[in-house]
Chains A and B, each alone.
Chain A
Amino acid sequence: MRNARVARLLPLAMLFLVLLALPMVVTRSYYMHIVLLTGYYMLLALSVNLVTGFTGNLFLAAAAFSGIGAYASALLTMKWGFPFWLALPAAGFVAAVFGFVLGYPCLRLIGPYFSIATFGFGEITRLVFVNWYSVTNGPLGIRGIPGPGRIGIGPLSASIDSRLSYYYLLLGIILISTYVLYRIINSHIGRAFWAIRSETFMLAQMIGINATKIKIYSFMVTAFFCGMAGSFYAHYMRFISPDTFVFPESAAAVAMAVVGGMGTITGPIIGAILLGVSVELLRVVSQYRMVVYGLVMIVSVLFMPEGLVGVARRIFSQRRRVAAAGVPARRG
């Protein structure tokens, strides 16, 4: 049991070690920028995966909640003088509250109804960002958002100003988020997530799972992490506008989770790295950037619906099965 868990976490741990050492290889500032944006998408993909991968409801409002977090964080720091360290979780909480607001009408919805509702919410959010001039400054966006400043106490402190420091900050956020999501998924509530999938929604209610509560919960957690991602984005880019928090971005987050493998923790991370990096590098041929996105989504659903992680798992389990078949059974 313990060994199995270690084996399952090993690839993830190795991945994080590689990420820790990444700045040694990626030295050019522009590439570091790509890495940082990829990290932002990674957070979105991880959150989307919680609702889509585990409860089986396609969530199309990641960018909207990220936007809510970004605007909340910008306003909290600029208008009320919140430090970044308070604004970051606060942005998450604000997004989670909106997650509740959207989650409530979506309670009974499954399948296409759910996706359309989240899509509608995303569009409403975008229209509010564009039109609520007095708060969001309309299509012009908000400029001059302060950076995080200094972190830590005394000699153990560092100033977050270079891309390198932003990288480690983001890596920390991702690491903590991944850990929290891992704990949630492997808890009693996490198993209830599986039970309230579209196909077994009624069944889950029948065996006494409070599907309503679980669904709201999954929504709020997802919104929280999207909101935090948005907050990081705002304080890293120092500028936000409604153009960033649009539907194609939500779709991109879903695409990353799908390509990597939904319903796993490693999947969205790998998917975000793969799509985020390759697509950013394709900026050279900018007009075909999103074309590749679309194509990758289609191909991966048609040919590997379980994502890269699913493919890897199948390869490994096959090898193990072959090995097992070659060795005479020890027992019975």
Chain B
Amino acid sequence: MGTFSVIFQQFINGLTIGGVYAMVAVGLTLVFGILRQMNWAHGELYMLAGYALVITYTMMNVPYYVAVILTVLMVAFVGLLYEWLVFRPVRGKPFVNAIVCSLGVSIFVWNIVLALFGGTPYKLATPLTGKIMRLGLFSISGQRLMTLVVGVMIIGAVYYWIQKTRAGRAMRAVEQDGEAARLMGVNINRIAEVTFAIGGGLAGLAGALVGPIFVIEPRVGAWAVGKAFAVVVMGGMGSVMGSIFAGFTLGVIESLAIGFLATQYRDLIAYLMIIVILWIRPQGLFGRIAQKGA
């Protein structure tokens, strides 16, 4: 294999993982853009998806594709619970309250899972595991291919939905000016519910698709939220388009870095990116001004 095919192979791998970053980050950026709240527990949704899959697919023997749908629904519901129990009470309070509260949720959730399931990582085998597609110079595993295709389709659908539907318009109205939207008869609480459900569903889908590629363990939420922050900062907080673009970009950069640098530098890239982008261009690539208060 020549250098070119290595690059190409890593590029394809990067797109897969980038799609996952984008799916997780879109939920985070939606909550931020629309509700001006930071959900530090967002990574836990991704982690819970893995365990929802363990329960349905491994323990209850539900067929994989059905298990994925069940997982998405379950995690979307957990997102709703977040909104009802935690984020609604702190709405309109100082920013620190929301962030500390969601930090508490994050710590609470991963430790409950740790207590219930233990720290041993789960490795799942789906019907697509081990199936390798050869496409000319490069190859891609079936699971990765499905993750990429489904991820792109769902992200596209969500984007279309936000842009074109009545509910999506209401969401964007709240994003632009929450108070004005409320006066125009937009039910903020309903919008928040939809936002959290979509964010949860996307994180759930990401966890259900990519969980089997990696391992499922309680601390994986911290990894997911770290990457999602990098993506959201890069794309600009609140910008869905920015998150999609930045998600794929980060995935590709990381994968190329694995190909040419040592593996341990991979995670460093995302965090360095956070600092450098916040320093040079705090509003992100697609975002508006960063000093908006929030």
Partners in one complex: yes
Interface of A toward B, CB cutoff 8 Å: 52, 56, 58, 102, 104-106, 108-113, 115-117, 119-121, 123-124, 127, 130-131, 198-199, 201-202, 247-248, 251, 254-255, 258, 262, 287-291, 293-298, 301-302, 305
Give, as a whole number of angstroms, the nearest-CB distance from A247 to chain B.
7
For the complex of A and B, the 6 pairs showing the least CB-CB separation, nearest first, are A294-B108, A297-B104, A105-B279, A294-B107, A120-B274, A298-B104
Given contacts A121-B275, A302-B89, contact A109 B290 (CB under 8 A): yes
Judged by a CB distance under 8 angstroms, whether B205 is at the interface is no
From A109, A124, A251, A258, contact of B282 by CB (8 A): A109
What's the Cα separation between A258 and B99 when bound, in Å? 11
A55 → chain B closest CB, angstroms: 11
Chain B residues touching A, range: 35 or more
Whether A113 contacts B282 in the complex (CB less than 8 A), given A247-B222, A254-B100, A297-B107, comes out as yes
A-B residue pairs in contact (CB < 8 Å), sample of 5? A56-B95, A127-B264, A131-B264, A293-B107, A297-B103
Q: Is the pair B99, A58 in contact by a Cβ cutoff of 8 Å? A: yes
Evaluate contact between B108 and A105: CB separation under 8 angstroms: no
Q: Across the interface, do A58 and B100 meet the contact criterion of CB distance under 8 Å?
A: yes
Chain A residues closer than 8 Å to B103, beta-carbon distance = 251, 254-255, 297
Question: Is A110 touching B271 in the complex (CB atoms < 8 A)?
Answer: no
| SS class, residues of chain B in contact with chain A | helix
Q: Please report the C-alpha to C-alpha distance between residue A303 and residue B193 in the assembled complex, in whole angstroms.
A: 22
- List residues of chain B with CB within 8 A of the CB of A104: 279
Q: Which residues of B contact A58 (CB under 8 A)?
A: 95-96, 99-100
B291 is an interface residue with CB less than 8 A from chain A = yes
- Judging by beta carbons under 8 Å apart, are A124 and B104 in contact? no
Q: Does A113 lie within 8 Å of B100, measured CB to CB?
A: no
**Shortest Cβ distance from A53 into B: residue:** B96
- Indicate if the CB atoms of A111 and B100 lie closer than 8 Å: no
Q: List 18 additional A-B contacts (Cβ < 8 Å) besides A198-B293, A297-B107.
A: A58-B96, A102-B275, A108-B282, A109-B282, A112-B32, A113-B233, A116-B233, A116-B278, A121-B271, A124-B275, A251-B103, A290-B107, A290-B110, A294-B104, A294-B111, A301-B104, A302-B101, A305-B97
In the complex, the answer to whether B111 meets A288 with C-beta atoms within 8 Å is yes
| CA gap between A120 and B274 in the complex, in Å | 6
Distance A56 CA – B95 CA, assembled complex (angstroms): 9
CB distance from B268 to the nearest CB of A (A): 5
**Interface contact A112-B294, CB-CB below 8 Å:** yes
Question: A262 to chain B: which residues have CB within 8 Å?
Answer: 96
Q: Answer whether residue B106 sits at the interface, using C-beta atoms and an 8 A cutoff.
A: yes
Is there an interface contact between A123 and B226, defined as CB atoms closer than 8 Å? yes
Name the contact of B104 in the complex, choosing from A111, A247, A255 (C-beta under 8 A).
Answer: A255
Contacts of B222 in A (CB 8 A): 247
- Candidates B104, B264, B279, B290; contact of A296 at CB < 8 Å: B104
Q: Give the residue of B90, B107, B264, B274 whose beta carbon is less than 8 angstroms from that of A251.
A: B107
Using Cβ atoms and an 8 Å threshold, which residues of chain A touch B108?
A: 291, 293-295, 297-298
Q: Is B179 an interface residue (CB 8 A)?
A: no
CB atoms of B106 and A112 under 8 A apart? no
B38 A112 Cβ-Cβ under 8 A: yes
B80, chain A: closest CB distance, angstroms: 17
> Given contacts A248-B107, A251-B107, A291-B112, is CB(A297)–CB(B101) below 8 Å?
yes
Is A123 a contact of B101 with CB atoms below 8 Å? no
How far, in Å, is A203 (CB) from chain B's closest CB? 11
Residues from chain B with Cβ under 8 Å of A127 in the complex: 264, 267-268, 271
Measured CB to CB, the closest approach of chain B to A104, in angstroms, equals 8
CA distance A120 to B271 in the complex (A): 5
Could you say which of B101, B233, B291 contacts A201, with CB atoms under 8 Å apart?
A: B291
B188 contacts partner chain A, Cβ-Cβ < 8 Å: no
Closest chain B residue, CB of each to CB of A297? B104
**How many Å lie between the Cα of A124 and that of B226 in the bound state?**
11
Q: How distant is A291 from chain B, measured CB to nearest CB, in Å? A: 4
Whose C-beta in chain A lies nearest to the C-beta of B292?
A111
Q: How far is the CA of A148 from the CA of B93 in the complex (A)?
A: 46
Q: Which residues of A contact B38 (CB under 8 A)?
A: 112, 115-116
Instruction: Identify the closest chain B residue to A302 (Cβ).
Output: B89
A112-B278 contact in complex given A201-B291, A298-B108, C-beta closer than 8 Å: no
Minimum CB distance partner of B106 in chain A:
A294
Residue of A nearest to B37 (CB): A112
How far is the CB of A132 from the nearest CB of chain B, in Å? 10
Q: With contacts A108-B290, A112-B237, A199-B293 known, is A255 near B278, CB below 8 A?
A: no
B93 touches which of A297, A298, A305 (Cβ 8 Å): A305
